[in-house]
Amino acid sequence: MPALAVSFTLNGAATTVSAPAAERLLDTLRYRLGLTGAKEGCGEGECGACTVWLDGLPVNSCLVPTYQVRNRRVDTVEAADAAALEPLLRAGATQCGACTPGVVMTARWIVNHPEVLATHTVRELMAGNLCRCTGYDGIIEGIEAAMPAQAGRP
Amino acid sequence: MLQRREGLAKLTGRERYVDDLPLDGFFWGMTVRSPAPRGRVTAIRFGRDVDWSQFIVVDHRDLPGPNVVHLIEQDQPVLAAGVVRHVHEPVLLLAHPDRDELRRAVQAVEVVVAPEPPALDFREPPRPDQIQYGADNVLKHLKIEKGDVERALADAPVVVEGVYETGAQEHVYLEPQGMIASLEGDTVVIRGSMQCPYYVLAALTHALARDESRLRVIQAPTGGGFGGKEEFPSHLAIHAALLALKARRPVKMIYDRGEDMAATTKRHPARVRHRTGLTKDGRLLAQDIEVLMDGGAYVTLSPVVLSRGIIHAAGPYACEHVRIDGRAVFTNAVPFGAFRGFGAPQTLFACERHMDVIARTLGVDPVELRRINLIRDGQSTATGQVITDGADRVAVVERALELSDWRGKRRAHAAHNATHPTTRRGMGLATFYHGGGFTGGGEVYLKSRLQVAGLEDGRVEVRSANIEMGQGAITVFTQIAADRLGLAPEEVVIAEADTARVPNSGPTVASRTTMVVGRLVERACDDLRRRLGLPESARGDAVRAALRASRRRGVVGEAVYEKPPAINWNDTTYRGDAYGAFAWAAYVAEVEVDLRTGAVRVTDFVAVQEIGKVINETLARGQVQGGVAQGIGWALMEECKWKDGAMTNNQLTNYIIPTSDDVPSIRVAFLEAPYAHGAQGAKGLGELPIDGPAPAILNAVAEATGTDPREIPLTPERLMALFD
């Protein structure tokens, strides 16, 4: 399969990678760029373990062909600020950790967009990230604790 | 409270699971599988479009040792040798540096099978041409007998019967199975996702005919297990090792979700029949219980799953006359295996749903029925184990009723149900128990050994084969060792589970890690203190000073499992103390049922349990909430669809597990009655929470709708059929 050179902004830095035309962004990140934070949980966009941001929006990187990120912005869990994740740790949001990088990317997006809580609950917003360990309460409480005070609350 | 020690590494994506480990010059490995449930392999055809000289190909003739995955019985081949017994049975292994080419190559191999008649329904007695194990396809037959059931049933004023069925359940650990095999000198090194490094080591020793000094098994951070990584990783480790030995380079095998769901073990489907004699006001006089489980095409752990299943089948109740007859049978299904709860969820579902059927039949309040029958201290279980643990089982129920506002809600539901055109609401209760650790003499047989060593830098290192898979072993062991020695958590290191470095403290299964192995951590700390020449009371600075003074000598404390003297079990008669301790629980589910669609929504869930001692509240609560969510899935939505004994909906698009929006906030409370032989008084917890949700939810649906559901998963289709 012919390789394509794809240039994009990865965690704030200009990046160029050569990848086959059909390669998934998930594989490019993990196997070509060494960013193994995003995980493959299902390979079909159901579990969300591979969630990254594309131009600031959470996407399943197993469903994004790498060529589609040309000239766009990709952010991964590796760019997350560890200190900002303390509330998730304290609430028990991670157990086995396999869903966690995806959960963190959706969670950070919610925390950065408190206005969405005017129309949706955290429980609804997290429904795209499957977790088999926590029963979700730890994740939801962690996100609520990480939300800026009063912001966007209905 | 100590936070999960590896938590930030997981939250920031830095934790390296097997597929994340740096690895150079390796081949990917994949498996060619049987297309048929039973038959003789008459040909293996390699497609012409593939340059096979570029591939490593392994079949059963490449095994240095016996073609067996070593477990309870030596019946399951590593690779099929001429005969296949289930769809997806491994036949060939392929390796190649390019994963896409490897995938195409797997598709290009045709395994030709001359079919023979498979046994596919475990509930049907096999025809003669379907017999493949012993005289009757029964893998294991076990019995528990207490008193005289026939006479007690004949004399009972009321007899209530019921048959209950539970479906298979897929673990869906978020990280699929994965293993790397490499050669380091003459040593085969395995790194992978697993619960039991020493099980993997034993299986490799056997199949590779290689002694332990030339084998090393290292557990990589493991993304969930739930029992699915108890016995199965032995298969994958042998497969990867065979490819690596032939390729003379590292081989990595990572299942994708489809292969993982189709080809690996699941929870045993079961049918349980109850015949119960009672007084008119609901006192249990006799319990006659038949348990039937589908074992699938090889024995795997089915005898032990059946054993735990029947021991829990009579529920946490006092009854003088009990007979439990259990059978696990062979079918040509993909073999079933360990899954959180290990047989108990199936039998407790039947028991607790049956209790509500009894309550409805007798016109007795379901709470009252349980209250009068719950075991009191001094009374005995079905195996004759006298319970004297001081736990207040009625108080557990009372707390669950109070937290769930049982009485208030039931009144409100009655009002709602009388007027609402399309929805019905209800509450359901389940009271249950779960034994911690291996059954009966199992812990004695394991002879678990654990070390706590003084390190050169003044810290101590806990060396155990018990692994972290999300349940919190690293954090709990840290707490136990730090508390015992008066050290800070940062002064405790938990060794990587590497069979070259840690002793065999047994498998990470059976809710045994905190209770049983944690106790070994305490005793190894005590031994370390003795070897440092310190009195029993020494803590903190006294320990630090002695560790500093001895750091060059490398002092190592050790503990070996010792049976608490009061535990006595007879494995022949199935009489005696089945477990060192039971944890006790009462769960309440509230549901809303949509009469138009048959959809059931769990709107509230209260989980109260007595677990001896809570060591880390966040972790303990997380275990319960996760187990309840998994139980909600099993009860309502997780349905394996079958064809020829293999799962056909082997993808997360149509095998539905609960999302955050499918479960309510799960409210958890603990009661504590310390267990003298558990770490800090703890009993086992990990499996308990999967036992209660399904019966509590079905009891709630029955109450809400007036139907009588007896089978899970209670999908909308099944419930709609009950409306008609």
pLDDT digits (tens, 9 = 90+) for A28-41: 999 999 999 999 99
CA distances from B25 to A105, B1, B181, B528 (A): 32, 44, 12, 43
Q: Choose the closest CB to A135 out of B4, B256, B625.
A: B625
Radius of gyration (Cα) for chain B, nearest Å? Answer: 26
Whether A92 sits inside 8 A of B619 (CB atoms) is yes
Residues 467-496 of B with CB under 8 A from A: 469-472
B426: Cβ contacts below 8 Å, ≥ 6 apart: B413, B417, B590, B591, B593, B700, B701, B702, B703, B704, B705
B435, β-bridge pairs: B582
Q: Count of CB atoms within 10 A of residue A14's CB?
A: 8
Whether A92 sits inside 8 A of B4 (CB atoms) is yes
Q: Choose the closest CB to A98 out of B7, B175, B630.
A: B175
Residues B48 and B526: their CA atoms lie apart, in Å, by: 66
Residues A99 and B88: their CA atoms lie apart, in Å, by: 27
Distance between terminal CA atoms of chain B?
53
In chain B, what residues touch A42 (CB-CB under 8 Å)? 257, 651-653
Backbone φ, ψ for residue B542 (5° rounding):
-60, -40
Whether A140 sits inside 8 A of B665 (CB atoms) is yes
| pLDDT at residue number B50 | 97
Interface contacts (A, B; CB < 8 Å)? 184
Question: Does the pLDDT of residue A150 top 60, yes or no?
Answer: no
Residues B406 and B430: their CA atoms lie apart, in Å, by: 13
DSSP single-letter state for residue B209: T
What pTM did the predictor assign? 0.98
Q: Choose the closest CB to A42 out of B470, B630, B651.
A: B651
H helical segments located in B550-692: 617-636, 688-691
A129 touches chain B (CB under 8 A): yes
In chain A, what residues touch B176 (CB-CB under 8 Å)? 40-41
Is the N-terminal amide bond of B713 cis, ω within 30° of 0?
Answer: yes
Helix or strand run (H / E) with residue B719: helix B716-723
Task: Let me know how long chain A is.
Answer: 154
Amino acid letter, residue B8: L
| pLDDT at residue number A152 | 45
Tell me if B165 sits within 8 A of B243, measured CB to CB: no
A38 touches chain B (CB under 8 A): yes
A36 touches chain B (CB under 8 A): yes
Q: Determine which of A73-82, A143-152, B272-281 has the lowest per-residue pLDDT on average.
A: A143-152
Residues B290 and B347: their CA atoms lie apart, in Å, by: 10
| pLDDT at residue number A19 | 96
Residues B238 and B31: their CA atoms lie apart, in Å, by: 12
Mean pLDDT of A129-148: 97
In chain A, what residues touch B12 (CB-CB under 8 Å)? 37, 77-78, 80, 82, 85, 104
B717: Cβ contacts below 8 Å, ≥ 6 apart: B598
Find the closest chain B residue to A51 by CA distance: B13
In chain A, what residues touch B11 (CB-CB under 8 Å)? 80, 82, 85, 88-89, 93-94, 97, 100, 104
Whether A126 sits inside 8 A of B660 (CB atoms) is yes
How close is the nearest chain A Cα to the Cα of B137, in Å? 34
Q: Choose the closest CB to B224 out of A78, A96, A123.
A: A96
DSSP single-letter state for residue B498: B
Tell me if A47 sits within 8 A of A102, measured CB to CB: yes
Question: Does the pLDDT of residue A153 top 50, yes or no?
Answer: no
H helical segments located in B405-486: 406-419, 442-446, 473-485
Residues B324 and B314: their CA atoms lie apart, in Å, by: 8
How close is the nearest chain A Cα to the Cα of B633, in Å? 10
Amino acid letter, residue B185: G
| pLDDT at residue number A1 | 66
A47 touches chain B (CB under 8 A): yes
DSSP for B265-298, written as a single string: --PPPEEEEEEEEE-TT--EEEEEEEEEEEEESS
Residues B327 and B60: their CA atoms lie apart, in Å, by: 32
How close is the nearest chain B Cα to the Cα of A30, in Å? 8
B694: Cβ contacts below 8 Å, ≥ 6 apart: B166, B345, B349, B631, B634, B635, B712
A37 touches chain B (CB under 8 A): yes
Burial classification of residue B536, based on how many CB atoms lie within 10 Å of its CB (0-12 exposed, 13-18 middle, 19 or more buried): exposed
**Residue B598 token pair:** 């048959």
DSSP for A122-140, written as a single string: HHHHGGGS--SSS-SHHHH
A55: Cβ contacts below 8 Å, ≥ 6 apart: A72, A73
Residues B285 and B293: their CA atoms lie apart, in Å, by: 26
In chain B, what residues touch A62 (CB-CB under 8 Å)? none
B569, β-bridge pairs: B576
Residues 586-625 of B with CB under 8 A from A: 618-619, 621-622, 624-625
H helical segments located in A1-154: 25-27, 86-91, 100-112, 122-125, 137-146
Tell me the average pLDDT of chain A. Answer: 95
Find the closest chain B residue to A20 by CA distance: B100
Mutate to test the interface with A, among B4, B5, B6, B11 (most CBs of A within 10 A): B11
**Residue B562 token pair:** 């010792």
In chain A, what residues touch B15 (CB-CB under 8 Å)? 97
Whether A46 sits inside 8 A of B174 (CB atoms) is no
Q: Choose the closest CB to A137 out of B10, B226, B625.
A: B625
Whether A43 sits inside 8 A of B20 (CB atoms) is no
Find the closest chain A residue to B630 by CA distance: A132
Tell me if B285 sits within 8 A of B321, measured CB to CB: yes
Tell me if B19 sits within 8 A of A41, measured CB to CB: no
Residues 627-686 of B with CB under 8 A from A: 627-630, 651-653, 657, 659-663, 665-666
Burial classification of residue A142, based on how many CB atoms lie within 10 Å of its CB (0-12 exposed, 13-18 middle, 19 or more buried): buried
Whether A39 sits inside 8 A of B223 (CB atoms) is yes
Shortest CA distance to B106 belongs to which of B27, B28, B46, B32? Answer: B32
Amino acid letter, residue B251: V
Shortest CA distance to A107 belongs to which of B121, B147, B13, B58? Answer: B13
**Residue B243 token pair:** 């490819």
Give SS3 for A13.
strand
For residue B388, how many C-alpha atoms fall within 13 Å in the half-sphere facing its CB? Answer: 8
Tell me if B59 sits within 8 A of B78, measured CB to CB: no
Mutate to test the interface with A, among B10, B339, B604, B662 (most CBs of A within 10 A): B10
Radius of gyration (Cα) for chain A, nearest Å? Answer: 16
Whether A127 sits inside 8 A of B172 (CB atoms) is no
- What averages of pLDDT result for each successive group of 10 residues across chain B (724 residues)? 97 98 98 98 97 98 98 97 98 98 98 98 98 98 98 98 98 98 98 98 98 98 98 98 98 98 98 98 98 98 98 98 98 98 99 98 98 98 97 98 98 98 98 96 94 93 98 98 98 98 98 98 98 96 93 90 93 95 98 98 98 98 98 98 98 98 98 98 98 98 98 98 92
Residues A130 and A135: their CA atoms lie apart, in Å, by: 10
In chain B, what residues touch A142 (CB-CB under 8 Å)? none
